[in-house]
Amino acid sequence: MSLHQPFTPAQTVYVVGDGGALPLEDDAVVLHTPDGITRRDIPKWQNGELETWLNLCCGRGDGCEEQTGSWQTEGLRTLDLILAYKQSYQTGETICLNRWED
């Protein structure tokens, strides 16, 4: 995260957007918006993708350490796609995503 963002440091991960940030701190999500800061507990979901992802982000991989690389790669590819779409929309350019090719 760039240093010009006025958000407090988190233990594990940030989801940063144009309108704020979502740091995961322990078992809560802290919403940072221009209007202020709100802390919300992370609900306990049934075993599923979102719970697994949150556990990996929080460093609580229960035997899922070998999957971390694929989760990170999938997450980075998703971010690449979002950023490419945003850049293409703003500039009118055609964006090629070839970062992940061998």
Band of pLDDT at residue 2, cut at 50, 70 and 90: very low
Q: Domain spans of the chain?
A: 16-91
Q: Which residue has the higher pLDDT, 90 or 9?
A: 90
Length of the chain: 102
pLDDT of residue 102: 47
pLDDT of residue 57: 62
pTM: 0.33
Position 6 pLDDT exceeds 60: no
What is d(CA 13, CA 54) in angstroms, rounded to the nearest whole number? 10
Position 63 pLDDT exceeds 60: no
3-class DSSP state of 94: coil
Position 53 pLDDT exceeds 50: yes
